[in-house]
Amino acid sequence: MLIVLSPLLLIVCILELLFHGWPVTFKQRRVGKKQKVFWFYKFRSMSNKRDKNGDLLPDKQRLTRFGKFIRKTSIDELPQLWNILWGSMSFIGPRPKDIKECVFFNDEQCGRFRVKPGLSGLAQVNGRNSITFEKIAEYDNKYADKITFWGDVAIVFKTFMTLFKRKDIDSQVQTTGHLCFYYNDLLLNRGDITREEYDKRVAFSKTLRVGTIMPSIDLQRQTEAAAMLEEGLAEIKTAEATEAV
């Protein structure tokens, strides 16, 4: 596919340079099979426009017409063929999500990591960006529970039909941070987590490097509780030793 699509890839790279500048792709840390962090690649759909202070403008202002076009046609996803070639992704599987979202997944939601993430998946042909996170998680776990050859063939066929009809492709969802697209924001908005924990988990996600294993939020909390318990016991022992002296 890389060989067949090489003329298209070359044209897109040239247009990327004209509309968005260098680099023509962007990479992001996402979570793959067995919760291992990997580099995920896409063609850029936004410019590097900045304000007078040198800060990037909001996503909506940086999204170009060309960017909207490659999103709607899913051409921006083509660099992931390299991810497939390198083995970090598959053609079919749960779509990989940003690590800042994944650190909020509980043990059950991490069931999606039993299989490699895919270029397309069961959730993508059953609503794509127009369904809630909970529904996406349900489809992802359903796929991981039972993978079949003909099931994958059906998803491939439905993917092409979805692209042809441009169905359930909502670029506005992706540029405004819709709640179904950013799970961490959904939890904060619903009051399921505090702002303090939100900031802590997001900060933790920034420390996870490519190749490391991402722990679920349940495991993070267990580890933190154990660390607090050990710290408390150490303080008690120190106080007892001081009293004895």
Query: pLDDT (tens digit, 9 = 90+) per residue, 171-209?
Result: 444 433 344 468 999 999 999 999 999 999 999 999 999
Pairing state between β 25-31 and 90-92? unpaired
Predicted local confidence at residue 143, as pLDDT: 96
User: Could you tell me if residue 87 is inside a domain?
Assistant: yes
Is residue 121 within 8 A of residue 151, CB to CB? The reply is no
User: Could you tell me if residue 230 is inside a domain?
Assistant: no
User: Could you tell me if residue 238 is inside a domain?
Assistant: no
User: Could you tell me if residue 39 is inside a domain?
Assistant: yes
SS3 136: helix
First to last CA, the chain: 75
Domain count, the chain: 1
User: Could you tell me if residue 159 is inside a domain?
Assistant: yes
**What is the span of the domain harbouring residue 38?**
6-214
Chain-centre distance for alpha carbon 162: 21
User: Could you tell me if residue 19 is inside a domain?
Assistant: yes
Angstrom distances, CA of residue 6 to CA of 9, 28, 90, 173, 223: 5, 23, 19, 30, 47
Determine the Cα–Cα distance for residues 179 and 170; give it in Å rounded to an integer.
Answer: 13
Query: pLDDT (tens digit, 9 = 90+) per residue, 210-219?
Result: 999 999 999 9
Other beta carbons within 10 Å of 217: 20
Write out the two tokens for 202. 């997001």
Query: pLDDT (tens digit, 9 = 90+) per residue, 50-84?
Result: 888 878 888 888 999 999 999 988 899 999 999 99
Query: pLDDT (tens digit, 9 = 90+) per residue, 213-242?
Result: 999 999 999 999 998 888 787 777 777 677
Predicted local confidence at residue 148, as pLDDT: 94
User: Could you tell me if residue 235 is inside a domain?
Assistant: no
User: Could you tell me if residue 75 is inside a domain?
Assistant: yes
Average pLDDT over residues 94-115: 95
Look up residue 135 and give its DSSP letter: H
